[in-house]
Amino acid sequence: MAAMDITPKTVVLGVTGGIGAYKACELARSLMRAGIRVRVVMTESATKFVTPVTFRALTREPVAVSLWDEPDAKIHHISLGQEADVMVIAPCTANVIAKLAHGRTDDLLTTTALATEAPLIVAPAMNVHMWRKEITQANVAALRARGVMFVEPESGELACGEVGEGRLAAVDSIVAAALEELGRARELEGVCVLVTAGGTREPIDPVRYIGNRSSGRTGFAIAEEAARRGADVTLVTGPATLADPFGVRTVRVETALQMRDAAEEAFDDADVVIASAAVADFRPAEASEGKIKKDDAPDTIELVPNPDILASLAERKGSRVLVGFAAESGDAAAGARAKLMAKHLDLVVANDITEPGLGFDSARNRVTLVTAQGDEELPEMDKRVLARVLLDRVTAIMKG
Q: What is the pLDDT of residue 39?
A: 95
pLDDT tens across 185-230, in order?
888 999 999 999 999 999 999 999 999 888 999 999 999 999 999 9
Measured between its terminal Cα atoms, the distance across the chain in Å is: 27
Each of the 400 residues of the chain gets a pLDDT tens digit; together they read 334 444 578 999 999 999 999 999 999 999 999 999 999 999 999 999 999 999 999 999 999 998 776 545 555 657 888 899 999 999 999 999 999 999 999 999 999 999 998 999 999 999 999 999 999 999 999 999 888 999 999 887 766 667 778 899 999 999 999 999 998 888 899 999 999 999 999 999 999 999 988 899 999 999 999 999 999 999 999 999 999 998 899 999 999 999 999 999 999 999 999 999 999 999 999 998 899 998 888 889 999 999 999 999 999 999 999 999 998 877 888 889 999 999 999 999 998 887 777 767 788 889 999 999 999 999 988 899 999 999 999 999 998 8
Pairing verdict, β 209-210 and 163-167: unpaired
Considering the domain architecture, whether residues 255 and 377 belong to the same structural domain is answered as yes
CATH of the domain at 356: 3.40.50.10300
Considering the domain architecture, whether residues 111 and 251 belong to the same structural domain is answered as no
Return the SS3 of 357. coil
The count of structural domains within the chain is 2
CATH of the domain at 95: 3.40.50.1950
Instruction: Assess whether 160 carries a catalytic annotation.
Output: yes
Peptide bond into 91 cis (omega under 30): yes
Considering the domain architecture, whether residues 266 and 160 belong to the same structural domain is answered as no
Quick check: 72 and 45 in contact, CB under 8 A? Answer: no
Considering the domain architecture, whether residues 331 and 364 belong to the same structural domain is answered as yes
Considering the domain architecture, whether residues 151 and 206 belong to the same structural domain is answered as no
User: How far is 108 from 122, CA to CA, in rounded Å?
Assistant: 16
List the 149-150 sheet strands across, edge first: 37-42, 10-15, 86-92, 120-124, 149-150
Kindly name the residue from 25, 92, 160, 192 that is annotated as catalytic.
Answer: 160
**pTM, 2 dp:** 0.84
Beta bridge partners of 15: 42
Considering the domain architecture, whether residues 181 and 197 belong to the same structural domain is answered as no
Considering the domain architecture, whether residues 202 and 332 belong to the same structural domain is answered as yes
Considering the domain architecture, whether residues 23 and 140 belong to the same structural domain is answered as yes
Q: What is the pLDDT of residue 77?
A: 58
Which residue segment(s) compose the domain that 340 sits in?
192-399
In a domain, 1, yes or no: no
